[in-house]
């Protein structure tokens, strides 16, 4: 049957299982918007296209499915850029559909013409300019395949207005893809598996460094089986948090710049690092020249471009983590690594637990208290979506994320403004989940316009603003490395209660520790979006910290006497 290009767009999406898209209309995408009225797809009208891309990203991270955003040409398309780059850095599968001016006008600086495939070339996994109606169906099918297969990532499809207006009889092909030069299904040779097994079985001080790839691969059970069988302790990257149960005795905590000191020390002392679906980001390694010099390294990774990129490895197993581990597991001996595990336990020494919950209320409200109370009130089960900054690190440290897809955060790009729109996307993906935004007063203001989207869509999202009156993470760097010269980091906020109320939503202000739990309870029991404005200690610091470029175990520690949040032993 003959269809317009505009109709084909939505039929293609429905064939991919899409029921929700996030977008904003405009001239070059108007034919598609007109056709949308006839299809069972829910369109979420965002307030800024950056929000649409983050919503698609949050939807993808919460569900494991491909998220979709839509924008018009020119400024609509360029507004997507930050969201696309965010998804690209964190391997999140989204498809972005943009309208383009009609093909005869391309190259003539026509109204709202931007070469968006050119602009997004380095920040998409792949992108397409579609000028013919016949190409819409096959291109969208390919776009979804590319976005979700292999190492996931964002794909942009730019469709000219005339292609949307013209008609054809679409061909719906279901044959498996064979794209020249694209090999998402690599798997290691048997000899490489044998070499890896030999290293594992010889190791005395092995450590698993596990990342986002576990979640993307769905390899949680295999990683657990591996760790249990070979008795290898596990540490996670920020983006891996939740993929290994936080209460398992082999779990050590987060690695890296704001990770646990004993994890970083153990990495420096290990004789074997097993890197599972993580990419040795500089926030994870510290100074590369001195990184884990005693360790042999095995890297299981789906993207060959990641092998030896930052850290040279002894054995590379290129393939999907789950299937590689399934092949490796039978070759791994059950060993006794107890001395090593006990040694790491000793490394904790007096640097151990952040035992803040037992501390008396001294009149100060610390972000750590807020997040710890939030964790207790939600029994650790909330889907937490953070923004970027100090609060993000505290959300990683003080909220024990229980399972995969319970923490959504912008890691690689560190995009302020991510949290609220990503949480909206996550709520559409998992309507039954209790969704909490944890945002700073700076980042929240970047995309606060999406409160209006929460109101229009009647969403039940809880928002915790960790309001310290500063661009706190930057202030912290100024404190440590720029002699406390706080250039442009003090930041004023609007009255968030009035802001919420202006949107028809409600808000609560919290200034003391005693008010935290009642406010959290109010947010949890209110069925619309609630903003809780926590006025926390202004010049608090995220500890520990590996200064950028320092050795991984050269951590700045919390001074014991100056600050009431002790990090010393559990007995205190
Ligand atoms: C303020 C700030 C501070 C930070 N501090 C820290 C910190 O202290 N510690 C920390 O860990 N991070 C920190 N980060 C985050 C950091 O920048 C990186 O985003 C993070 O370390 C990346 O984690 P990852 O390598 O697990 O995930 P990604 O960057 O998503 O990489 C995942 C890897 O898995 C691979 N992969 C994907 N699918 C599969 C599959 N099916 N099978 C196998 N492999 C697969 C991908 O190709 C990729 O190489 C911080 C970020 C910010 C903004
Ligand atoms: C879009 C963007 N601009 C600038 C930065 C640099 N940056 C990183 S953290 C940070 C401060 C964040 O402040 P706030 O949102 O108040 O969170 P806090 O650190 O105070 O918890 C800034 C400016 C960034 N990550 N993203
Ligand atoms: Mg702040």
Pocket test for ligand 2, best of 84, 437, 442 (most atoms within 8 A of CB): 442
**CA angle, 236 as apex, 235 and 240 as ends, to 5°?**
160
161, 296, 322, 427: the active-site residue? 161
Q: Using 50, 70 and 90 to split pLDDT, how confident is the model at 300?
A: very high
The whole-number pLDDT of residue 565 equals 64
CB 438 within 8 A of CB 370: no
Q: How far is the CA of 90 from the centre of ligand 1 (A)?
A: 7
Show the tokens assigned to 54.
């983050």
* Residue 258 Cβ < 6 Å to ligand 1: yes
The whole-number pLDDT of residue 335 equals 84
**Residue 435 three-state SS:** strand
Show the tokens assigned to 33.
């918007």
Q: How far is the CA of 474 from the centre of ligand 3 (A)?
A: 9
Element (H or E) spanning 220, and its range? Answer: helix 220-230
Distances (CA, A) of 415 to 27, 186, 211, 396, 464: 29, 31, 19, 16, 18
Digit-coded pLDDT (tens) for 80-138:
999 999 999 999 999 999 999 999 999 999 999 999 999 999 999 999 999 999 999 99
Residue 358 has pLDDT above 80, yes or no: no
- Does 473 qualify as catalytic in the annotation? yes
Digit-coded pLDDT (tens) for 178-199:
999 999 999 999 999 999 999 9
Q: Using 50, 70 and 90 to split pLDDT, how confident is the model at 569?
A: very low
Q: How far is the CA of 439 from the centre of ligand 3 (A)?
A: 8
**CA angle, 392 as apex, 388 and 398 as ends, to 5°?**
180
- Does 483 qualify as catalytic in the annotation? no
Closest atom of ligand 1 to CA, residue 89? 29
Nearest alpha carbon, ligand 2 atom 11: 471
**Residue 543 three-state SS:** coil
Report CA 350 to chain centroid distance, whole Å. 32
The whole-number pLDDT of residue 357 equals 66
Which residues have C-beta under 5 Å from ligand 3, the single-atom ion?
440-442, 468, 470, 472
CB atoms within 10 A of CB 397: 21
Weakest mean pLDDT among 112-121, 236-245, 279-288, 347-356 = 347-356
Residue 150 has pLDDT above 70, yes or no: yes
393, 446, 473, 545: the active-site residue? 473
Q: Using 50, 70 and 90 to split pLDDT, how confident is the model at 244?
A: very high
The whole-number pLDDT of residue 502 equals 98
Q: Which residue has the tokens 């006497």?
A: 561
The whole-number pLDDT of residue 572 equals 33
Q: Using 50, 70 and 90 to split pLDDT, how confident is the model at 406?
A: very high
* Residue 412 Cβ < 6 Å to ligand 2: no
The whole-number pLDDT of residue 557 equals 83
Residue 460 has pLDDT above 60, yes or no: yes
Mean pLDDT of the region 251-269: 95
Indicate the pairing of strand 3-4 with strand 167-168: antiparallel
The whole-number pLDDT of residue 260 equals 93
- Does 111 qualify as catalytic in the annotation? yes
Mean pLDDT rounded to a whole number for the chain: 95
The whole-number pLDDT of residue 567 equals 56
Mean pLDDT of the region 372-394: 96
Closest atom of ligand 1 to CA, residue 412? 19
* Residue 478 Cβ < 6 Å to ligand 1: no
Taking the CA of 209 as reference, the closest ligand is 1
* Residue 389 Cβ < 6 Å to ligand 2: yes
The whole-number pLDDT of residue 558 equals 78
CB atoms within 10 A of CB 3: 18
pTM score? 0.97
Mean pLDDT of the region 253-273: 96
* Residue 418 Cβ < 6 Å to ligand 2: no
The whole-number pLDDT of residue 570 equals 45
Q: Which residue has the tokens 């016949």?
A: 134
The whole-number pLDDT of residue 566 equals 59
Report percent pLDDT > 90 for the chain.
Answer: 91
The whole-number pLDDT of residue 203 equals 96
Residues 59 and 408: their CA atoms lie apart, in Å, by: 10
**CA angle, 208 as apex, 202 and 209 as ends, to 5°?**
140
The whole-number pLDDT of residue 571 equals 36
């Amino acid at each position: 049957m003959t269809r317009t290009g505009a109709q084909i767009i939505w039929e293609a999406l429905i064939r991919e299982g899409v029921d929700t898209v996030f977008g904003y209309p405009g001239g070059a995408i108007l034919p598609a918007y007109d056709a949308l009225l006839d299809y069972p797809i829910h369109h979420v009208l965002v307030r800024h296209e950056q929000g649409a891309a983050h919503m698609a990203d949050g939807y993808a991270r919460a569900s494991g499915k491909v998220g979709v955003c839509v924008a018009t040409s020119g400024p609509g398309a360029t507004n997507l850029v930050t969201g696309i780059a965010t998804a690209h850095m964190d391997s999140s599968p989204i498809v972005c559909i943009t309208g383009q001016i009609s093909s005869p006008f391309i190259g003539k600086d026509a109204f709202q013409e931007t070469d968006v495939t050119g602009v997004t070339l380095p920040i998409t996994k792949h992108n397409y300019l579609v000028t013919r109606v016949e190409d819409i169906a096959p291109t969208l099918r390919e776009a979804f395949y590319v976005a979700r297969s292999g190492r996931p990532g964002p794909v942009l499809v730019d469709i000219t207005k005339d292609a949307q207006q013209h008609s054809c009889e679409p061909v719906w092909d279901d044959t498996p893809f064979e794209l020249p030069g694209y090999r998402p299904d690599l798997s290691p040779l048997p000899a490489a598996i044998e070499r890896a097994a030999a290293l594992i079985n010889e190791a005395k001080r092995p450590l698993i460094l596990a990342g986002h790839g576990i979640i993307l691969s769905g390899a949680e059970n295999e990683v657990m089986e591996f760790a249990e069988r070979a008795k290898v302790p596990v540490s996670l990257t920020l983006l891996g948090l939740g993929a290994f149960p936080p209460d398992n005795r082999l779990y050590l905590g987060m690695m890296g710049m704001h990770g646990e000191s004993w994890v970083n020390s153990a990495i420096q002392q290990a004789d074997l690092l097993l890197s599972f679906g993580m990419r040795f980001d500089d926030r994870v390694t510290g100074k590369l020249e001195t990184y884990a010099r005693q360790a042999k390294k095995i890297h299981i990774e789906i993207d060959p471009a990641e092998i030896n990129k930052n850290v040279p490895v002894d054995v590379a197993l290129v393939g999907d983590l789950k299937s590689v581990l399934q092949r490796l597991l039978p070759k791994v001996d059950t060993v006794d690594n107890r001395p090593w595990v006990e040694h790491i336990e000793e490394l904790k020494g007096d640097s151990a637990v952040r035992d803040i919950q037992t501390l008396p209320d001294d009149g100060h409200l610390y972000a750590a208290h807020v997040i710890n109370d939030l964790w207790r009130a939600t029994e650790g089960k909330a889907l937490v979506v953070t923004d970027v900054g100090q609060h993000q690190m505290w959300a990683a440290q003080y909220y024990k994320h229980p399972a995969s897809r319970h923490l959504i955060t912008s890691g690689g790009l560190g995009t302020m403004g991510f949290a609220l729109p990503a949480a909206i996307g996550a709520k559409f993906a998992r309507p039954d989940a209790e969704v909490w935004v944890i945002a700073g007063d700076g980042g929240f203001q970047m995309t606060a316009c999406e409160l209006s989207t929460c109101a229009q869509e009647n969403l039940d999202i809880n928002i915790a603003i960790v309001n310290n009156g500063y661009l706190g993470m930057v202030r912290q760097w100024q404190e440590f490395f720029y002699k406390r010269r706080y250039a442009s980091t003090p930041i004023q906020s609007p009255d968030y209660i009035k802001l919420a109320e202006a949107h028809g939503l409600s808000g609560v202000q919290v200034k003391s520790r005693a008010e935290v739990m009642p406010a959290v309870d109010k947010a949890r029991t209110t069925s619309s979006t609630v903003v809780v404005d926590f006025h926390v200690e202004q010049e608090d610091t995220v500890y520990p910290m590996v200064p950028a470029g320092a050795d991984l175990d050269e951590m700045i520690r919390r001074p014991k006497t100056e600050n009431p949040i002790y990090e010393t032993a559990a007995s205190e």
